[in-house]
Amino acid sequence: MNTQNPNAPAAAVTYLIRNASILGRDTADLLIRGGLITAVGPALDAPEDAKVIDAAGLIALPGMVDLHTHLREPGREDAETVETGTRAAALGGFTAVHAMANSNPVADTAGVVEQVHSLGRRSGWVDVRPVGAVTVGLEGEQLAELGAMADSRARVRVFSDDGKCVSDPVLMRRALEYVKAFDGVIAQHAQEPRLTEGAQMNEGDVSAVLGLAGWPAVAEESIIARDVLLAQHTGSRLHVCHVSTAGSVEIIRWAKERGVRVTAEVTPHHLLLTDELVRSYDPVYKVNPPLRTAADVEALRRGLADGTIDIVGTDHAPHPSEHKECEWAQAAMGMTGLETALSVVQHTMIDTGMMDWEGFARVTSVTPAVIGAVETQGRPLAAGEPANVILVNPSARRTVDPNKMASKGRNSPFAGLELPGLVQATFFAGHPTVLDAALNTPHPVSTEESAWIA
C-alpha cells in the first residue's frame, strides 16, 4: 500500500478498485488515474504503482450531487462552514453540493457567489456550486443580478430564494423568463406566505391536538400549481424544492404529462418521518416544509420511484444547538441531512423494493447534475469519465449519532435510529476524500486551479 501524500498531485496516484458491483449489478474493476476513470472491466491488470482497493461486497455509484445544501457561510459560521459542510458531504457520499443562497450577506451578487465558490475550491472535499438568489436579499421584490452571477467564475445556473417563496406571480414569471438567457433554472420554495403566517407544523390531526399553528398542504400545492402553469406559459425550466405533500406529487405528475419543463425534489426526511414525531415538541423535528402524514410519505416514495419526483435533495440545514434547545415556536426550522441521506434513501426506497441502485444513482447523482448543469458530475461509470465515484456497503448498519458527524449541526432527526448503508469510500475528481468510511484528505490540487473543479 502506498503511503498517502496529501500534497501529491492527483495524477500521481493510481487506484484500482477491485470487484465492485457497478450500480448494484455486474462486478467489475475500476481503474482511476489522473482524475479520470481510465478503465472498467473484469480482472483489470494492476499497474505497478496502483493502490488496490478491495471492493468485494461494495456497490460503485456515481458521486452524489446535492441540489439543496445550506452551508451557512458567509454569515453563520457558528452553524456550519464551507469546510465542515463539505467534509460532511464527502462522508455522506457526495462529490458536489449546491450551496443555497440564504447566507448573510445573501448570495445575490456575483461577489458573494464567487466567494462561496472559492471557499469550496479551497476546501477540496467536494465540488461546491453556489445557488444564486432570485431576488435581492431574498426580499421577493426586485430581481437580483442573475446574469452577473451566471457569468461569474461560479457560473451559477440554479437560482432560488429557498427559505422564502417567490410568491409574487409577476416576479416569478419574470425570473422564469429571464434565466432562459443562460439556461438557468428557478428552484422554488413553494409556500404561500399568507396561508402560512406563524405556521409551526403540518396542519392536520396532530397540529389540532398540539395547538400548533398549521402549515396546510394547500399552501404548497397552490404555489406549485401556479408555477407549473407559469412554466408552461413561459416555456421555462422550473425546479420545485422539497416537495412534501401527496397533492404536490399529483400536480407535478399532471404538469409533466402536459410537457411542462418541471423537475421536483424530495428530501430524505420527508421520505421517512411524519408529523406524529412532533408530539414530543422536540424542535429537532421542526423543518420547513414540515413533516407531513404517513399518506404523504407514501405518495412521495411512489412519486420518486415512478419518476414524478426527479431527485433527492437533502435540504441539509445545520443550526447551532441553542436554536433547537428551546420552545418549539422559538426554534429554528431545519435538519441536517448530508451524512444520512444515502442511508435514509436506501432504507425507504431500496430496502422496500421500490427502487434499485441504478435508480438511486439517477435520483441522487445523474438527474441533479443535469438540473444543476454540472457537466463533470453524475456521469456514467465508464472509461474516460471524470472519476467521481463512491463505494457503498449496503449491508452495513449503524445507529445515527449526531455527535460523531463532521457537520457542525447536531440537529439530526435520525439520531438514535439504526439505518442501513455506509459510504466506504468517496472519490472526488480521482482523489479519495473518504476511505474506510472515514475522512481521508481533501483533493490535493484544491488550492490550485484545476479543470475538474472549475
Partner 1 sequence: MRHLLSTRDLSRADALAILDTAEQMAAVSQREVKKLPALRGRTVVNLFFEDSTRTRISFEAAAKRLSADVINFSAKGSSVSKGESLKDTAQTLEAIGADAVVIRHGSSGAPARLAGSGWINAAVLNAGDGTHEHPTQALLDAFTMRRHWAKLHGTASTGTDLTGMHVVIVGDVLHSRVARSDLWLLRTLGATVTLVAPPTLLPFGVESWPCEVSYDLDAALETGPDAVMMLRVQGERMQSAFFPSVREYSRRWGFDDVRLDRLDTLGLKDTILLHPGPMNRGLEISSRAADSPRATILEQVSNGVSVRMAALYLLLSGENTPAGTATLENSQ
Of positions 118, 222, 281, 373, contacts partner 1 by CB under 8 A: 281
Question: What crossing angle do the helices spanning 246-257 and 294-306 adopt, rounded to 10°?
Answer: 30
DSSP 399-441: E--GGG-SSS----TTTT-EEEEEEEEEEETTEEEEETTEE--
Cell numbers at residue 80, please? 456550519
353 sits near partner 1 (criterion: CB under 8 A): no
Residue 280 or 352 having the CB closest to partner 1? 280
CA–CA gap between residue 362 and residue 379 (Å, rounded): 10
Q: Is 127 marked active-site?
A: no
- Alpha-carbon dihedral sign for residues 169, 170, 171, 176: positive
- HSE-up of 61 (CA within 13 Å, CB side)? 34
Active-site annotation holder among 151, 205, 315, 356:
315
Q: How far is the CB of 176 from partner 1 (least distance, A)?
A: 32
Binding to partner 1 (CB under 8 A) within 189-218 occurs at 200, 203-205, 207-214, 216
- Kindly tell me which of 283 and 334 has the beta carbon lying closer to partner 1: 283
**Binding string, 358-397, against partner 1, x = CB under 8 A?**
----------------------------------------
Cβ atoms of 401 and 257 closer than 8 Å: no
- Our finding on whether 280 is near partner 1 (CB under 8 A) is yes
Kindly report the CA angle at 30 between 29 and 35, in degrees rounded to 5?
170
For 199-315, list the strands marked E by DSSP: 201-202, 214-215, 238-240, 262-266, 311-312
**CB closer to partner 1, 207 vs 340:** 207
Min dist. Cβ of residue 336 to partner 1 (A): 20
For residue 218, the minimal CB distance to partner 1 (Å) is: 10
Of 289, 357, 449, whose CA–CA distance to 64 is shortest?
357
Least distance to partner 1 from the beta carbon of 286, Å? 11
Site for partner 1 in 144-173 (CB under 8 A): none
For the window 322-341, what string marks contact with partner 1 as x by the rule CB under 8 A?
A: x--xxxxxx-----------
Binding site for partner 1 (CB under 8 A): 200, 203-205, 207-214, 216, 280-282, 322, 325-330
Residues tagged active-site: 315
